[in-house]
Amino acid sequence: MGFISWIILGLIAGALAKWLMPGDDGGGWIATMVLGIAGAFVGGFVGGFFGFGGADGVNIGSIVTATLGAFILLFLYNRFIRG
């Protein structure tokens, strides 16, 4: 998957994760993109671990996988780092 695809997937996944878990997280579009890209890695790892597959392009399955990973990261950030 190309660099531009990761950015697009990161924006979509990060925005969906923040939409599902709203709150005062701080950061703007850059933080959302980083959250989404990291979420794609986490979602790909979790999806691969459970046999669902990873984030391999900008498609519905990858968006769901990356959003799940971004949601997990956002939850962990809100739970442990922000206190």
Which letter does DSSP use for residue 15 in this model? H
Residue 52's Cβ-side half-sphere holds a number of Cα atoms within 13 Å equal to 17
- Cα(3)–Cα(68) distance, rounded to whole angstroms? 20
Tens of pLDDT along the chain (83 residues)? 667 777 788 788 888 887 887 766 666 667 777 887 888 788 778 777 877 766 667 788 878 888 888 888 888 877 887 65
- Cα(63)–Cα(77) distance, rounded to whole angstroms? 20
